[in-house]
Amino acid sequence: MNLSGIKVLLVAFCLIAFAGSTAKAQSQPSRTDKILEVFNHEPQKILVASHRGGHKDFPENSLAAIDEAIRVGAHVVELDVRETKDGELVMVHDKTVDRTTTGKGEVNSYLYADLQKLFLTHNGQATSYRIPTLKEALLHTKDRILIDIDFKAEKFETAVRVYNLIAELGMSEQVLFFLYDYKEMPRLHQQNPAIKIMPRAYNMEDLQGIIKMDLTNIIHIDNSFISNDKELSDLKSRGIRFWANTLGDVDKAAAADSQSYQNFFNTMKNVSVVQTDEPELLVQYLQREGVTLRE
């Protein structure tokens, strides 16, 4: 075989090796895939949602806060979506930017370019971080963690734009879309059935209405449902996950004594996704108990 023939064989071998390594890499499940497997098929395991990201150490709703939530092992990160005057989708919790940035005024009074001149604050101090767009946040989380979108814009048309962006980025399976009014579920579901809608149930009448629609397998509840343990248990056995919060007193007590989390689960027996301001503490507690995803 001459030299040119050897070169052809070497190139072919390299191409085959590269294709094999690429296929192997593509076959490896992402972190999101692993979380979804638990979410969909292991209802006994409890998942942790980080409220506004790891905001105790970084500005809330910042890309750095998202990274912190992932670092400590959270399975879901909650992000707040609002709309600027010129229609950009941005990550801000409050109606105004007063508390979380160096600026003043309502988010929807700002053009996006002007909003980008502001800096995010943390514990009242200016930082070098800026307000991310929803697109930036989604791309930053892709294949890394589930996203709970707390939609705070006012128009249904804006919700449709959010849905379209999620689909465009190929992230439909990765998103929970929180709804304050469960009656909006059918027309949102029509936009993209692959996006999981998480409605809030304020009482048993709401819960029954949600179940009747049969459009979701995750429902946000609170401790007012304590007396409905049997009904919740029956629904849990049918594959429904219940989301509840430990924000406030439970998280504060847990910082001193993790028994606070045990008390929470003793009371909220059927909850299997928990939103917290202390994601690292809750993940560590659940890992010790052996009731969460181990990575």
- Beta bridge partners of residue 178, listed in sequence order: 150, 198
Question: Which residue type does 47 have?
Answer: L
Range 210-214 contact pairs with CB under 8 angstroms and sequence separation of 24 or more:
210/182, 210/185, 211/235, 211/240, 213/182, 213/185, 213/186
* 3-state secondary structure (DSSP) of residue 32: helix
**Catalytic residue among 55, 75, 93, 140, which?**
93
CA angle 229, 183, 95 (to 5 degrees): 95
What pairs with residue 276 in β-bridges? 50
93 is catalytic: yes
The SS3 of residue 195 is coil
Nearest partner of 282 among 272, 270, 64, 233, judged by Cα: 272
| Distance from C-alpha of 72 to C-alpha of 95, rounded to nearest angstrom | 29
Phi, psi of 172 (to 5 degrees): -60, -40
Query: Would you call 41 a catalytic residue per the annotation?
Result: no
Which one is catalytic: 51, 55, 140, 220?
51
CA distance 32 to 145: 5
CA angle, 93 then 257 then 251, to 5°: 10
Element (DSSP H or E) covering residue 50? strand 47-50
Burial of 290 from C-beta contacts in 10 A (0-12 / 13-18 / 19+): exposed
Residue 87 host element (H or E): none
Largest CA distance in the chain: 83
d(CA 276, CA 259) in angstroms, rounded, equals 15
Q: Report the catalytic residues.
A: 51, 93
